[in-house]
Amino acid sequence: MRLKALIAIGVVLIVLGLTLNFYFQARTSDELTLSADFEHDFTSNGASSYVNRDYLFPYDPTYNGSGVSTASSNYTTETETTITGMGSGSGYVEFSYVKEIIEQPTLLIDVNTGVLPGGVAVLPPMSPGMPAIPYPFEPYQPTNSTMYLDEKNWTYRTDVYEEHGLPARTGYARSVFTHHLKQQSYPVYIGAIQNTTIARFEGVVEVQGIETYMYNYSYTFDIPFPIYTNQTTGFTAFLNFTESTNECHEPTTGALLRQSTTLTYHLTTISGGQPNTVEIYSESNDYEISQDDADSFSSALFWIRNSSTVAWTLVLLGLAPVVVGFVIVIKARRQS
């Protein structure tokens, strides 16, 4: 009876281990697959890190370019980002990406200061048909776009974009890297330049007690038309901005745990064929997962990483009494 009980316990452990292994594998696969129910909200708090008082001041449509430019002591901004799963089909997930700027500076560029003759780049508005001047020099407009991502690899589905008559996107979505990250570079699509940039691996960083991989990527966007021109005097001004981002992702799931972004604007004035470039504004935004969310995330990570080990341990524990039981049975039969 004891022998039968021992074998029965072993069989139960083996069955339980195999069942849990299949269950954990299915659960882990689901955790690493983008879901149509996926919703990720995070608030990024930012502040201007530099304001050039010689060139920038709060927007005033009545300003005529005379006098001295003055800027407030500092500007603060707060951005709120939401990524929401909307639907899925044929192995891809459709996402709505919304970024709202809750508070922002509205600035005017004075290209008259230090350069004569100059003028005022009244931003906005620009001529009809021209691309919008990017934040913070355009009126407040939330960023709202749709992404079509492969639900397994988390890359853009070029074929789905083509089906919808949209320009193709390649690489990974910003802040939505793939799972099982490696210590290597990844292509990241940037909407402003309609192209990819390279997210470079910068090292291993601990965020709220969780080991993450940090990646850095940056790009520069040149506004393809002068923001001010005076054909009589041959004076022209151009604007561009550079955005540099550090993102810390948990490598197994790809989850974004920390993000810091710096946006820097430069003004280039050309007079008599001689260009002069100055930095006029820069701003930094930061996001980091809360400690409570990090603790909950750590518990889920434990099972994602160790579920198979637990399941196979049960199988091995079950094999031991079964093997011992059968050995005893075989010996007993031989002796009889």
In angstroms, rounded to a whole number, what is the distance separating the alpha carbons of residues 332 and 336? 6
Distances (CA, A) of 156 to 99, 150, 265: 19, 6, 29
3-state helix/strand/coil string of 314-330:
HHHHHHHHHHHHHHHHH
On whether residue 294 sits in a domain, the answer given is: no
Residue 237 covered by a domain: yes
Tell me if 228 is assigned to some domain: yes
Does residue 250 share a domain with residue 170?
Answer: yes
Structure-block tokens of residue 143: 């960023």
> Which of 186, 203, 243 is closest to 219 using CA atoms?
243
Pair (252, 179) in one structural domain: yes
What is the distance between the alpha carbons of residues 287 and 273, in angstroms, rounded to a whole number?
43
Residues 10, 72 within the same domain: no
> What pLDDT digit, counting tens, does each position of 201-244 carry?
999 999 999 999 999 999 999 888 888 887 777 788 888 999 99
- Domain shared by 193 and 307, yes or no: no
Q: Is residue 17 helix, strand or coil?
A: helix
Q: Bridge partners of 41? A: 82
Indicate if 233 and 330 belong to the same structural domain. Answer: no
Q: Tell whether 92 is covered by a domain.
A: yes
- Structural domain tally of the chain? 2
Give 207's strand partners: 210
Are both 206 and 123 inside the same structural domain? yes
Q: Domain containing 200: what range? A: 32-289
Residues 181-205: pLDDT tens digits? 999 999 999 988 889 999 999 999 9
DSSP H helices, the chain, are 2-31, 158-163, 291-335
Pairing label, strands 256-271, 274-288: antiparallel
Give me the pLDDT at residue 22, please: 72
In whole angstroms, give the CA distance from residue 55 to residue 48. 15
Burial of 1 (C-beta count, 10 Å sphere; 0-12/13-18/19+):
exposed
169 and 281 assigned to the same domain: yes
pLDDT tens per residue across all 336 residues of the chain: 666 676 677 777 677 677 766 767 666 667 778 888 888 888 888 888 888 877 887 766 666 655 555 555 566 778 888 888 888 888 899 988 888 888 777 777 877 665 455 566 655 545 555 556 666 776 566 778 888 999 888 999 999 999 989 988 999 988 788 889 999 999 999 988 889 999 999 999 999 999 999 999 999 998 888 888 877 777 888 889 999 999 999 998 888 999 999 999 999 988 878 888 999 888 888 999 999 989 888 887 877 776 676 666 766 776 777 677 777 767 767 776
267 and 182 within one domain: yes
13 and 60 housed in the same domain: no
Q: Are 16 and 113 members of one domain? A: no
| In a shared domain, residues 179 and 273 | yes
CA angle 293, 33, 243 (to 5 degrees): 65
**Residue 295 is assigned to a structural domain of this protein:** no
With contact defined as beta carbons under 8 Å apart, do 20 and 311 qualify? yes
Please give the biggest Cα pair distance in the chain: 116
Same domain, 278 and 327: no
